[in-house]
Amino acid sequence: MKTLCKLTTCVVAVLLSFNIYSCGDDDEDSVGSRDLLLGTWNGIHYIDQAWEDGEMVNNNKEDFVNGTNRYSIEFKEDGTYVEKDVYNTTTGSANYYHGTWSYSGNKLTIVDTDDDNYTEVWTVTKMTDNELVYELREKGKEDGSTYEYYEQFAFTR
């Protein structure tokens, strides 16, 4: 009987150790890593959608010529970024935006230092060596109406 009790105690201890180990600090929503995010990403497309009281009122998709240098963002090691947007003009003029960034789990926080530290927190849905997708969803109420917004950027290296 003592042997059966000791064996049961050992089995329970082993099973509990697996349970405790599996309940660690893992972030189930974790996508990629800060190191994988570093470098220049060239835009594939941008999606912008909006709904008012459940009815779609905006559905735009802008192609960035499939990963060419039309639109890009560079995430630097020091926590800063440079965003470049080249308009399709004969002069090829470009706008540059600067700021800081941080990444944790699947949340990419971007602070635009050119625009009074305007801050957005994007959800990264895909990050591989060659592909990055992040999105932003927001909901709100104003003047009795319910609004929903969705934005998505897709990039390649």
Q: How far is CA 34 from CA 108, 116, 127, 138, in A?
A: 9, 25, 10, 24
Count CB-CB contacts under 10 A for residue 80: 14
Across the chain, what does the average pLDDT equal? 83
Please give the residue that has the higher pLDDT: either 10 or 33. 33
Q: Where are the domains positioned within the chain? A: 32-156
pLDDT of residue 107: 97
Q: How far is CA 101 from CA 2, 55, 71, 109, 153, in A?
A: 60, 34, 18, 5, 16
Is the pLDDT confidence value at 17 over 70?
Answer: no
Average pLDDT over residues 33-58: 95
As a 3-state breakdown, the chain gives helix, strand, coil percent values, each rounded to 5, of: 15, 55, 30
pLDDT of residue 68: 62
Is the pLDDT confidence value at 12 over 80?
Answer: no
pLDDT digits (tens, 9 = 90+) for 74-106: 999 999 999 998 875 556 678 899 999 999 999
pLDDT of residue 21: 41
Residues 6 or more apart whose Cβ sits within 8 Å of residue 6: none
pLDDT digits (tens, 9 = 90+) for 99-126: 999 999 999 999 999 999 999 999 999 9
Is the pLDDT confidence value at 9 over 60?
Answer: no
Where residue 8 falls among pLDDT bands split at 50, 70, 90?
Answer: very low
**46 contacts 64 by C-beta, under 8 angstroms:** yes
CATH number of 32-156: 2.40.128.280
Report d(CA 104, CA 88) in Å as an integer: 34
pTM over 0.85: no
The letter for the amino acid at 19 is N
